[in-house]
Chains A and B, each alone.
Chain A
Amino acid sequence: AQSVAQPEDQVNVAEGNPLTVKCTYSVSGNPYLFWYVQYPNRGLQFLLKYITGDNLVKGSYGFEAEFNKSQTSFHLKKPSALVSDSALYFCAVRDIGGYQKVTFGTGTKLQVIP
């Protein structure tokens, strides 16, 4: 079975400060990992994904995520937060060798304070 956990319901950060949104995962094999963002009254938008290779993945809007196999984590980061980054962020995982489709986390609300 595969699962993903986002331990924080909400993260508050001041504009201009670095941000981190946490995600840990569990799979029986090797993972594909994703981050999606959802703005109010919109669907989810794909931000970035880890397949293999470099542990630091760069995505849209200046976001990046670091794959850490030993800690089974895939935290989303950005060096300098913008007010427009305020949204709901979802981590997702798929076991490469599994039959299941992608499993999404419960989401973390990011609030960037001006």
Chain B
Amino acid sequence: ETGVTQTPRHLVMGMTNKKSLKCEQHLGHNAMYWYKQSAKKPLELMFVYSLEERVENNSVPSRFSPECPNSSHLFLHLHTLQPEDSALYLCASSQDTTGGTDTQYFGPGTRLTVL
């Protein structure tokens, strides 16, 4: 176990549904990340939160909405998704320090299927 948990592990949703992915880290880290992993594509960084503030958003469509209520929890709210959004969504955390290595620890992922 890496100390990062994600729920649910699997999710099937229609294009009109609204759902949320949850991530929790038990490592005392101050930065959290959402990644999208699609088959045969590089790992895509979606959002980064450091000290509960969003510091990076790599041009992700607005149908994905992150929320970081505290340093241990991260959510990804989903609405009106498209079939091409089907992927493995990975959460990670790290201890973010100036000039630090940012070694990231990943959760097991949520396998999302959009019908």
Contacts and interface: CB of A to CB of B under 8 A. Distances in A.
A22 interface: no
Interface in B46-93: 48, 56, 90-92
A105 B111 CA distance: 21
Contact of B2 (A41, A45, A96): A45
A107 B44 CA distance: 12
| Chain A interface category by residue count | 20 to 34
| Chain B interface category by residue count | 20 to 34
Contacts of B104: 44, 46, 102
Most A C-beta atoms less than 10 A away, residue of B6, B48, B104: B104
A105 B43 CA distance: 7
B101 A43 contact: no
Interface of B: 2, 4, 6, 33, 41-43, 45, 48, 56, 90-92, 99, 101-109, 111
